[in-house]
Amino acid sequence: ISDKNPEDNPVSINSVSSVEGKTRPTLNNYNLKIKSFWNKLGEYKIKLNVRDANEGLEEIIFNGNITQGPYEFVVNPFVSTNSNGAAYDLLTTKAQREAYVQEKLLEDWTNTIKYNPEPLWVCSEYSSQLMTNFHGFPEATGYSGFNLDSIYYYRGTYKDNGKYGLPVYLVGVSGEPYGHAMNAILTGDDITKFEDWCFIEPQRDAINVKPGQLYIPSTCYIDIRAPAKTRSGEQLTNVSIIRFRVNNGVGKLDWINNENPNSKIIKNRK
């Protein structure tokens, strides 16, 4: 939405906001961009606070409608997963996004849970907990306290479900001498470019982990899995979206999930 002749209507727009929280509106001069959240459909309202030439204040309400696409599942690795991550959407460079992710990692507590042999708490639990705290699962139910023994017993907690609203995904590493689970977020612009992904080691609060560092072998396969949204609005877990083959530290696209014509994986940042 844009005003092609703003000089004909001399008002200044002070702010823009969603009335009911279904959308994520942003304003650049007189260009208004509206994005919906994953699980929101139906009518929405946007509120503009404007000041006219006589310094009078006024609220203007825009109405619109969010319609359902034809896809069985959708994955968009470029945008926040809820309003808690709105600040991330405003960042414009890979470096800015990674600095923001690092800041939130240091704030998060996932790395403070210690390894446990029984009940088992290892790399898969660390990566699942980090995705819960960062990505979130809106309809999830289960243990949501912060007792350490209970966290071990239930293999996680929903205490901070979706606290950061960032599209952090699960990563499975297959290589010698062992497999490993960790996380990743797409801070670059192209889902198919290995170097555009920021790999996260949740046990160490480390970002930009490269092949040959920590628990990623120099030669391996890296499978990235996302909690896609189904046609009914439910979130799935562990849908493989892309796989890279890493050879002597260099990652190349090996496979991307294009098999289902009714699926949609957003591949480029707009």
Please check whether residue 162 lies inside any domain of the structure: yes
pLDDT tens for each residue of the chain, 270 residues long:
444 455 555 567 778 888 887 787 887 766 777 777 655 677 888 888 877 666 677 788 888 877 666 556 788 999 999 999 999 999 999 999 999 999 999 999 999 999 999 999 999 999 999 999 999 988 788 999 999 999 999 999 999 999 999 999 999 999 988 899 999 999 999 999 999 999 999 999 999 999 999 999 999 999 999 986 655 555 556 789 999 999 999 999 999 987 666 678 899 997
Same domain, 50 and 93: no
Same domain, 94 and 210: yes
Domain boundary (66, 98, 114) is at 66
CA distance 111 to 107: 10
Same domain, 139 and 22: no
- Would you say 104 and 81 are in contact if contact means Cβ atoms under 8 Å apart? no
Q: What domain count does the chain have?
A: 2
Please check whether residue 132 lies inside any domain of the structure: yes
Same domain, 136 and 199: yes
- The residue range of the domain holding 135 is 73-265
Please check whether residue 173 lies inside any domain of the structure: yes
Same domain, 54 and 176: no
Same domain, 79 and 60: no
